[in-house]
Amino acid sequence: MPAFARDVLGRGANRYGILITASGAGALFGALIVAAYGHLVNPRKPALVVSIHSPSR
């Protein structure tokens, strides 16, 4: 990841820290959403949709 931030994005250590922070914040937000609303969705339906729409190689 640091090489990606440096070479591809052209940013240094500060931007890498922001990138990692955004990733962690998104994971936390997603976990809170699943914890709050997970009981409203049957887990089989999203799994079925993902399996149908995923490309097979």
Burial letters for 10-33: b for 16+ Cβ neighbours within 10 Å, e otherwise?
ebeeeebeebeeeeeeeeeeeeee
Cβ-based neighbours of 20, under 8 Å, separated by 6 or more: 1
Over residues 23-31, the mean pLDDT reads: 93
Query: Of 9-18, 23-32, 43-52, where does mean pLDDT reach its minimum?
Result: 43-52
Give the residue from 42, 4, 51 showing the smallest Cα distance to 23. Answer: 4
Q: Residue 19: what are its φ and ψ, rounded to 5°?
A: -60, -45
Summarised one tens digit per residue, pLDDT across range 2-23 is 777 777 777 777 788 888 899 9
- For the chain, the domain total comes to 1
| pLDDT of res. 20 | 87
Structural domain harbouring 15 = 2-53
